[in-house]
Amino acid sequence: MPSLFRHPVMVLFTGALIISFSSVFVKVSQVPPMVSAFYRVALGCCFLSIACWVKGEFRGQKLKSSLLAALAGLVFGIDLFCWHFSIDMIGPGLATILGNFQVFILALAGWLIYKERLGLSFALALPMAMAGLYMIIGLDNVSLSARYVAGIGLGVLTAVSYGVFILLLRHVQSGKGKRPIFYNQVLVTASCAFALGLVVAGTGNSFAIPSLSSLGALLGLGVFSQTLAWAMITYYLPRVDASRAGLILLLQPALSFVWDVLFFDRQTGPMGWIGVAVVLTAIYLGMTRQKS
């Protein structure tokens, strides 16, 4: 076994680093947002199916949990639909930061459904996140275009749908016995690809890949983001303590914003960078809040 995989912290760090490029792949894929979302999960499903077959995980799975995983995939399709369009409208950095607001959705769900205490950290984190987002977007809301506002709304919907997806997947993975590494991910990506494929076909979009660079970006999404990074994070996350895992996972939105500035010339002044720091701190508090 490679030495990297003996250290859960390093695996988690590497997974977060890889997945931070997801929004970059989407931006440079040269295909409509729905099409890039489809290829992400369709290609990912192919590689995950191979891994699942090698591990022998297709045998002995329960129908109820399989159907629930497929339902989670449909919700994940909504998440990808919203996120990919949000990237197109407001850029990879802000779209990814908004998507990570799912920690607040999960916290509220835990309070409403599981009667978990939100605690002081949540009470501080939510207004901090709103203030930081206000600083990133800019203080003059009147100057924002309708397209930009729609992109922000889709970013928020990304967070909501991803939170619901996590709750469903958590329920699927909470069953007794040995938990499969790849099987549920195969079902999620398969049902997600089916739904997104229907949307692409129904809206008259083409599945054509226009160039080799576009194919490379889509393969990056499917192989590295959807297959490798996701498997690394989901398998090794329970092996790292919450506070350290929270910090490591903040690499994804933080680096996505950095890539947006470096690769796509996003204009961000000092106030915007302070806003990014405030939002990431709030997300960290949301990730590591104490439960009782």
* CA pair distance 68, 168, nearest whole angstrom: 7
pLDDT for res 291: 46
pLDDT for res 243: 64
Closest CA to 232 of 215, 216, 254, 248: 248
Residue 86 binned pLDDT confidence (cut-offs 50, 70, 90):
very high
Spell out the residues 6+ positions from residue 174 whose beta carbon is closer than 8 angstroms to its own.
none
- Domain spans, the chain: 9-287
Q: What is the pTM of this model?
A: 0.86
Backbone angles phi, psi at 217, to 5 degrees: -65, -40
pLDDT for res 88: 92
pLDDT for res 1: 46
pLDDT for res 38: 96
Backbone angles phi, psi at 280, to 5 degrees: -65, -35
Distance between the two ends of the chain, CA-based, in angstroms? 38
Mean pLDDT of the region 106-111: 84
Cβ neighbours, 10 Å, residue 237: 16
Q: What is the pLDDT of residues 125-140, one digit of tens each?
A: 888 998 988 888 875 4
* CA pair distance 113, 273, nearest whole angstrom: 35
CB 98 within 8 A of CB 156: yes
Angle between helices 270-287 and 119-137 (to 10 degrees): 160
Residue 81 pLDDT > 60 = yes
Q: What is the 3-state secondary structure (H, E, C) of the chain?
A: CCHHHHCHHHHHHHHHHHHCCHHHHHHHCCCCHHHHHHHHHHHHHHHHHHHHHHHCCCCCCCHHHHHHHHHHHHHHHHHHHHHHHHHHHHCHHHHHHHHCCHHHHHHHHHHHHCCCCCHHHHHHHHHHHHHHHHHHHCCCHHHCCHHHHHHHHHHHHHHHHHHHHHHHHHHHHCCCCCCCCCHHHHHHHHHHHHHHHHHHHHCCCCCCCCCHHHHHHHHHHHHHHHHHHHHHHHHHHHHCCHHHHHHHHCHHHHHHHHHHHHHHCCCCCHHHHHHHHHHHHHHHHHHCCCCC
Mean pLDDT of the region 14-43: 93
Higher pLDDT, 291 or 58: 58
Higher pLDDT, 62 or 1: 62
Q: What is the pLDDT of residues 209-263, one digit of tens each?
A: 999 999 999 999 999 998 889 888 877 877 777 667 777 888 889 999 999 999 9
Q: What is the pLDDT of residues 161-199, one digit of tens each?
A: 999 998 888 888 776 656 677 898 899 999 999 999 999
The two three-digit tokens of residue 178, written as one number: 């040995």
Spell out the residues 6+ positions from residue 237 whose beta carbon is closer than 8 angstroms to its own.
12, 245
Spell out the residues 6+ positions from residue 8 whose beta carbon is closer than 8 angstroms to its own.
236, 239, 240
Mean pLDDT of the region 259-274: 90
Residue 292 pLDDT > 50 = no
pLDDT for res 42: 96
Owner of token pair 């890949």: 209
* CA pair distance 7, 173, nearest whole angstrom: 23
